[in-house]
Amino acid sequence: MSSAARDLELDLDAFEGPFDLLLTLVLKEQLEPAEIDMAAIVVAFVQHLAERDEIDLDACGEFLVLISALLELKARQLFPEEGAELAELEPEEAAEELARRLAEYRRMKEAAVWLRERLAAERDRYFRLGPAPLAPRAERRLAPQEPALLATALAGLATPPPKVSLSHMALRFPPVGQFLERFRAVLRRRRVFDFDGEVASLPRIEQAVAFLALLELRKNGEVALAQAAPFGPIRVARTERERMNAWTVRSA
């Protein structure tokens, strides 16, 4: 036995030790083949080969022969009826069965040779994804066109679009002086007025300008502003200075 198989240490459920000792026990019928885990032996041998620097083909061939013999012994023990059928064959029938198996083996071997030759011959060929290069290409055909309609469409594209008027979007602010005079006139008639009530009917733009006018009056000291709460009504009242100006004007 080669060193690769002889150095193989096994740790199985039914056996623990070198592989050659396992074979000796099986041949002496001291160990039943049915109790041996063949797959574990193969895995251990493959791991043993992986640890070596190079693969020993002779050792691999010898191991295949030995493991095949063990598998055959185990199969005969697991299926004794098949072995009995082979033992009951006449010499001529056994020869025919052997010839059939040899013919099947020869056919499988020839198929393997044919596949190996095909692999070597097709090694430099590659398949491509997508349609074949000689596949017919679809032709894109345009619908019948009228030159006059095409000219009309191009003329429409060449015509500049009309200008859009934005005049309706312009904001027109009334002058602040307009509301200054308005509030002064109200204060000449009344001493106090409500700003919210005075501008409630005006647009929001004019209300904003009116508020600016109110701030201008407050800046000049002409009015006094009061608001009881945030966002509450704004009360506008004349100041002493404004009352004196109004009395002076009436006296004159």
Helix axes 204-219, 176-189, angle to 10 degrees: 70
Whether 59 and 102 share a structural domain: no
Whether 113 and 184 share a structural domain: no
Q: What is the pLDDT of residue 238?
A: 86
Whether 7 and 81 share a structural domain: yes
Whether 62 and 96 share a structural domain: no
Q: Which residue has the tokens 């160990």?
A: 31
- How far apart CA 93 and CA 44 sit, in angstroms, is 40
Whether 16 and 61 share a structural domain: yes
Q: 141 in a domain, yes or no?
A: no
pLDDT tens digits for range 51-102: 877 777 777 877 887 888 788 778 777 766 555 555 565 666 666 766 676 6
Q: What is the pLDDT of residue 249?
A: 43
Whether 94 and 55 share a structural domain: no
Q: What is the pLDDT of residue 247?
A: 44
Residues 6+ apart with CB under 8 A from 238: 187, 191, 192, 222, 223, 224, 246
pLDDT tens digits for range 1-38: 556 666 678 888 888 888 778 878 877 778 887 888 88
3-state secondary structure of 227: strand
CATH of the domain at 240: 1.10.10.580
Candidate from 158-162, 167-171, 207-211 with smallest mean pLDDT? 167-171
- Is the pLDDT score of 250 beyond 50? no
Q: What is the domain extent for residue 215?
A: 174-251
Are 10 and 20 spatial neighbours (Cβ–Cβ below 8 Å)?
Answer: no
User: Which of 82-96, 144-158, 186-200 ranks highest by mean pLDDT?
Assistant: 186-200
Structurally, the chain folds into a number of domains equal to 3
- How far apart CA 42 and CA 72 sit, in angstroms, is 15
Whether 46 and 79 share a structural domain: yes
pLDDT tens digits for range 117-140: 888 888 777 666 666 666 667 777
Q: What is the pLDDT of residue 127?
A: 65
Structure tokens at 48: 């043993």
Write down the mean pLDDT value for the chain.
Answer: 78
Residue type, 40: A
